[in-house]
Amino acid sequence: MKLSHKLLVILVGFTCVSLSLSLALARWSFEQGFNEFIQNQERERLMSLSRVLITQYRSNNNSWDNIQIESVAPTGMPHRRPGMRPRPGGFPPPRHQIEDVSAGPPTLLINASGDVVSGQASYEDENERNEVSVKLEFNGQIIGRLISYPPKTPDSDVARAFSEQQLQAIILIGLLSLIASLILALGVTPRMLSPFKAILQSVKGLTAHQYKTTLPENRPDEFGELMRHINTLGNTLEAHKNTKSQWLADISHELRTPLTILSGEIELIKAGIRPLDQKQLASFDQEVSRLSLLVEDLYQLSLSDIGGLSYHFSSVDLSQVILQQSESLAHIFDTKGLTFTFTCPPNITINADHQRLKQLMLNLLVNACEYTDAPGTVELVVSDQPSFIVIIVQDSAPSIAKENAAALFEPLFREDASRRRRTQGAGLGLSISKQIIEAHGGKISASVSSLGGVKITAELPKYFTTDNN
């Protein structure tokens, strides 16, 4: 069943239940009110009858002897409209007025002692009747009671007709309300589901690799929040798609260069143009080493991306690691004509992976050496803060544009010829460094150096802990 049909069924079902409860409550309320109306009418009848009986009681020397409810004739107490004069001679009222007072449901006249004086209360439908009583008072004393038993349900044709009319009206109102709610549900359901349909189309587009989504984001409800997230997801997938395409193109370019050189030199040897001597073997070895380095960098980067790099955290003397790596690379800086200086406080201890820290420092220093023109300068400055360590590696020209600083940590990033790879590196060192820094709970950033080149700033927490320790 479609969601629209389910929603329609839910709305109509909820409406039916609500209407049924409302109509049942309305019917119950009507019956209660009508029953109360009958009791009030009966109480008024008993009050009128009580006045006639009290008059008869007084005329009978304050006695209930020989007084019968069925033969009560309220002499001298005619029912008359306001402003109507009493009949001359005090004749009794018309017979229909006496019936208005004495006629009614089964009625008992009980004296002050609780004995039945007159009337009868025997009937078959005891559970279908109420009890209404009125006290009879004379000279401040209770001389008896009138008790009647009117039916709970209408027993006259007029009352029954009125009750049935009310029931029919309630049923008609219920049917009209149900039809109106059905029409409203048919109109509201498509409108409620319109954003869902738009979201469904966008999700279908995402599954078909169409990542550019243009869902409206101005809705203030949960649909609007979902649309914003889907748009963000589409933009992220589009960026990843472009990055993947660029990644494949860059890898192809990086692999093509040494393979082209190897293929060309092999063709020259096969044609007898170039001899296979030690010099040629050294050239082969250089290109193979270049390929091996590229493959190893790609492997390390892929491991870090999928979390495959293993880390073994322990207490590490960072000062000693930096000193060893700086001394091992000093001759490379000298050979290239670069001035290398470093400043590092002694005895800096942090919780880290020793081998990954060595790899981090090697990548940062080699990257600075690779991309600095001679004669130039490379500086390494380490500062010890209360809760973290700051490592700054900066070099002289060439530099980068400020807007491209964050892109330096993307694999195989190239800005232009000024920062293009000139030796055997594949442009993956900073990407791997970023992964190592983040695995240690730190952060790394790039900016323009005051020396005219690039400044790499890395922060490492001293007391980083992980469940993988």
pLDDT reading at 92 higher than 50? no
Q: Give the pLDDT mean for 48-53.
A: 87
Q: Give the pLDDT mean for 75-100.
A: 41
228-242, 248-262, 360-374, 449-463: lowest mean pLDDT where? 248-262
Q: Give Cβ neighbours of residue 256 (< 8 Å, ≥ 6 apart).
A: none
pLDDT reading at 352 higher than 70? yes
pLDDT reading at 453 higher than 50? yes
Residue 375 pLDDT = 92
**Is there a cis peptide before residue 345, judged by omega within 30 degrees of 0?**
no
Residue 76 pLDDT = 34
Q: Give the pLDDT mean for 80-89.
A: 41
Q: Name the band, by pLDDT with cuts 50, 70 and 90, for residue 81.
A: very low
Residue 344 pLDDT = 92
Residue 24 pLDDT = 82
Domains of the chain and any CATH numbers: 1-105+153-194 (no CATH), 222-302 (1.10.287.130), 312-461 (3.30.565.10)
Q: Give the pLDDT mean for 354-373.
A: 89
| Helices and strands (H, E) in the chain, number of each type | 8, 11
Residue 415 pLDDT = 58
Residue 378 is encoded by which pair of tokens? Answer: 């490379």
Instruction: Measure the CA angle with vertex 84, ends 79 and 89; round to 5°.
Output: 75
Q: Name the band, by pLDDT with cuts 50, 70 and 90, for residue 88.
A: very low
Mean pLDDT of the chain: 78
**Percentage of the chain surpassing pLDDT 90?**
16
φ and ψ at 308, to 5 degrees? -85, -15
pLDDT reading at 419 higher than 60? no
Q: Name the band, by pLDDT with cuts 50, 70 and 90, for residue 75.
A: very low
- Whole-angstrom distance, CA of residue 208 vs CA of residue 193: 23
Q: Concatenate the DSSP letters of all residues of 142-206 into one string.
A: EEEEEEE--BSS--SHHHHHHHHHHHHHHHHHHHHHHHHHHHHHHHHHHHHHHHHHHHHHHHHHH
Distance of CA 338 to the CA centre of its chain: 58
Q: What is the pLDDT of residues 184-240, one digit of tens each?
A: 777 777 777 777 778 888 888 888 877 777 777 777 877 788 888 888 888 888 887
Q: What is the pLDDT of residues 116-162, one digit of tens each?
A: 888 766 555 555 567 888 898 888 889 888 888 877 666 667 767 87
Q: How many residues does the chain have?
A: 469
- Beta carbons within 10 angstroms of residue 49's beta carbon: 24
Bigger pLDDT: 126 vs 289: 289
| Three-state secondary structure call for residue 408 | helix
- Whole-angstrom distance, CA of residue 198 vs CA of residue 140: 84
Q: Give the pLDDT mean for 43-64.
A: 87
Q: Name the band, by pLDDT with cuts 50, 70 and 90, for residue 381.
A: very high
* C-alpha closest to that of 307 among 438, 411, 465, 462: 438
Alpha helix stretches (DSSP H) within 220-311: 222-270, 278-305
Q: Give the pLDDT mean for 103-109.
A: 74
Q: Name the band, by pLDDT with cuts 50, 70 and 90, for residue 390.
A: very high
Bigger pLDDT: 431 vs 465: 431
The answer to whether residues 199 and 230 touch, using CB atoms and an 8 Å cutoff, is: yes
Would you give the end-to-end CA distance of the chain in angstroms? Answer: 51
Residue 376 pLDDT = 93
